[in-house]
Structure formats: C-alpha cells, structure tokens
C-alpha cells in the first residue's frame, strides 16, 4: 500500500472510528461500544469491544428503612452502619456526618467490598448522634443513602439552680428545669432525695412524672437544715443528680433561741 493511499485510508478509518463510537444508556446500565481498527499493515479487519458500566444503585427498600427508623446503639458500644449496593466498576465511597466529610481515626473505620459499604464507629458517645449520609460515585453515576444515628445514654442532670417556692416548717416546695439532653430516650420520671445536714446518706422522699418539674414535701421539721437532690430517669438509667444548697425548713433553731 502506497504512503499516500495509506494516509487517505487512515483518515477514512478515523472518521469511521468516531462514527461507530457511541454510548447506549438503558435503565440500569450504560453500554459503551468501541470499534478499534488494527494496524493497517497487518490486517484490514477491526476489533469490536463492549464495556459494561453499571451506575451505583441502592435498593429503595433499604433507603425507605433508613428514613423510617434511625440506627440506634447504646453508649460505649460499637455502631455498624452497612449499606448494600450494586455497581460496576466499584464506586468511590464517601461518608458524611451532619454535612461534614468523615475521616478515619482510631474509633472510626470505613470499608468497601464488592457489594456494600460499612462505617464502624467504636465506643459511641451521645455526640456521635446525628445525620449520616453515604455517597457512592463512579464515572457511570452517583447514589446516596441518608440515615440518622442515635446513640442512647442516661439523661443529663436536671437543669438548675433549684428554685424554692416555699421553705416553711411544714412544707418545702421546689422547682427545676428538665434535662437539656434526655439521652436519646424519653425521660419517664424524676426521683427526689433528701438528707439532713451533717448526714451522709440520702433518703428517697418522692417520685414524679416527667411532665412535672415541681415537688413539695411535708417530711421536714421546723428549724432543721436539709439538702435535696433531683435525678432524671429514662430507660437507660438514672442521671447524675442536681443538688441544692443547704436550706432550713422555717426559721433555723438557733434563731428561736436568740429571740427568747
């Protein structure tokens, strides 16, 4: 074949190559068909190659389950968030928490296999709770999964300072605020305890529904000093206590003696 003829033939082949390179997209698959010509000196035939590309897909039933039910784990335990997928080639996996990309550290491990992505969070604390998003991306497409991680723990203590509405010799009435954080579980009730000034032991004097944040007791004696504490309770256990300062029921005993 002459050089001049070969150049014309080569230009013709390039046009044919461009013409017969195309993409055909189906519902779940992208087929890229390429016809590549061999060296013209060795053969006038060409190869037909077909590349199959499946964009990342996450089963809709899994996405619906994530939307309806948070992933719940107890504090100090390990959270395993596993998301199955289908894709060819394997996609790049990126995790986000509250919109910020997650990076691997001592307690956080990210893994990818041929059919799922796994996020592992060890020794969970309440602060690990939040919105979790998975992003799967390849040259063929992108898929997302959204879920909520809820780490449950005992409640935070009731908020204070405790306000005393009455401090008579017959009744002590107090008021406080609900915990700032319920531990991821509803606070069911409050426990109120009392101790006499100078004593070490606490005595339970009452229990009220979490709808109420006031409590009154008549288990006091005129002139004696007391200290009270309130604990919030959920299904995980009791909070740390909110303690009051020492107060007198009515007038202190010494005041009565000084007036005689």
90 and 148 co-located in one domain: yes
206 and 121 co-located in one domain: no
Q: Are 238 and 205 part of one and the same domain?
A: yes
Mean per-residue pLDDT over the chain, rounded: 85
Please give the pLDDT value at position 49.
55
**Are 146 and 86 contained in the same domain?**
yes
185 and 133 in a common domain:
no
- Contact call for residues 98 and 131 (beta carbons, < 8 A): yes
Confidence of residue 53 (pLDDT cuts 50, 70, 90): confident
pLDDT digits (tens, 9 = 90+) for 148-184: 999 999 999 999 899 999 999 999 999 999 999 999 9
Q: Where a domain ends, among 136, 152, 168? A: 152
Based on the fold, state whether residues 129 and 180 are members of the same structural domain: no
Residues 173, 234 within the same domain? yes
**Shared-domain flag, residues 172 and 138:** no
pLDDT higher for 72 or 37? 72
Are residues 176 and 245 both part of a single domain? yes
Segment 178-196, tens digit of pLDDT: 999 999 999 999 999 999 9
Q: Does 163 lie in the same domain as 146?
A: no
Q: Check residue 16 and give its pLDDT.
A: 41
36 and 62 assigned to the same domain: no
The CATH number given to whatever domain includes residue 71 is 2.60.40.10
* Residue 47 structural domain: 3-54
Same domain? For 23 and 108 the reply is no
Question: DSSP state, 222?
Answer: T
Say how many domains are in the chain. 3
Residue spans of alpha helices (H) in the chain:
3-19, 60-68, 253-258
pLDDT band at residue 253 using 50, 70 and 90 as cut-offs:
low
**Domain limit, last residue, from 114, 130, 152:** 152
**Model confidence pLDDT, tens digit, residues 209-247:** 999 999 999 999 999 999 999 999 999 999 999 999 999
Question: CA torsion 163→166→170→172, rounded to 10°?
Answer: -10
Pick from 1-10, 80-89, 203-212: least confident: 1-10
**pLDDT surpasses 50 at 251:** yes
């Amino acid at each position: 074949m002459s050089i001049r003829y070969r150049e014309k033939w080569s230009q013709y082949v390039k046009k044919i190559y461009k013409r017969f390179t195309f993409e055909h997209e189906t519902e779940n698959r992208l087929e890229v068909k390429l016809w590549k010509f061999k060296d013209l000196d060795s053969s006038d035939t060409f190869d037909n190659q077909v590349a199959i590309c499946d964009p990342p897909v996450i089963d809709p039933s899994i996405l619906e389950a994530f939307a309806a039910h948070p992933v719940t784990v107890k504090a100090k335990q390990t959270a395993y968030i596993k998301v199955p997928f289908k894709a060819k080639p394997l996609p790049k996996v990126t995790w986000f928490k509250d919109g910020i990309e997650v990076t691997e550290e001592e307690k956080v491990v990210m893994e990818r296999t041929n059919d799922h992505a796994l996020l592992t969070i060890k020794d969970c604390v309440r602060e690990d709770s939040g919105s979790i998003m998975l992003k799967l991306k390849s040259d063929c497409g992108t898929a997302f999964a959204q879920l909520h991680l809820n780490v449950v723990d005992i409640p935070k203590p009731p908020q204070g300072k405790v306000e005393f509405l009455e401090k008579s010799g017959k009744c002590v009435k107090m008021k406080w605020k609900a915990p700032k954080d319920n531990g991821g579980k509803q606070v069911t009730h409050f426990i109120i305890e009392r101790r006499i000034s100078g004593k070490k032991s606490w005595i339970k004097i009452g229990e009220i529904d979490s709808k109420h944040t006031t409590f009154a007791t008549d288990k006091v004696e005129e002139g004696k000093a007391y200290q009270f504490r309130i604990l919030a309770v959920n299904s995980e256990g009791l909070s740390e206590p909110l303690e009051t300062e020492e107060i007198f029921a009515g007038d202190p005993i010494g005041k009565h003696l000084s007036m005689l």
